[in-house]
Amino acid sequence: MIRMIVTACAAVFLLNISTVAAQQAPAGGEPLDGETLFATTCGWCHADGGREAGKGPKLAASERTDEFIVQRIKHGKEGAMPAFQGTYNDEQIAEILKYIRGLKDDPG
Ligand code: HEC
């Protein structure tokens, strides 16, 4: 009788462990990330992740339209900023735009 109870407890214990393990399974591949894209290609001109002016202007709290920003990323500006339409597809540019829109004007 005692043996049966011990076995039952062990079974419940194992069941709990496998439930926990299933819940901790990773959620799958990371999607594209505008912040990473920005940091690797834009950050050395648009300082502090776009929050400060560097070689290029500050982008946080920009009053430009989405359309203007997308066009600027795609086509750049001669003598000032390179064009990125060959580097990034529309989806990636949309992620970067989302990142810029999410910047807070005051980092403090
Ligand atoms: C080589 C430096 C450089 C890099 C790299 C660069 N930019 Fe620029 N960017 C500039 C300069 C300089 C300007 C200002 C151009 C002008 O005179 O209007 C600018 C302007 C802009 C503007 C328009 C801002 C405004 O209000 O007029 C946006 C938006 C922008 N950049 C986004 C980006 C993004 C996003 C990236 C990365 C994909 C990037 N830039 C990479 C130098 C750079």
pLDDT at res. 64:
97
C-alpha radius of gyration, the chain, whole number: 25
Distance CA 24, CA 70 (A): 38
Distance CA 88, CA 96 (A): 10
- Give the pTM: 0.77
Top mutation candidate among 36, 37, 46 for ligand 1, by most atoms within 8 Å of CB: 46
41 touches ligand 1 (CB under 6 Å): yes
Over the stretch 40-62, which tens digit does the pLDDT of each residue have? Answer: 999 999 999 999 999 999 999 99
Top mutation candidate among 35, 81, 87 for ligand 1, by most atoms within 8 Å of CB: 81
pLDDT at res. 13:
56
Contact 37, 95 (CB under 8 A): yes
Please give the domain boundaries of the chain with CATH numbers for all domains. 34-102 (1.10.760.10)
97 touches ligand 1 (CB under 6 Å): no
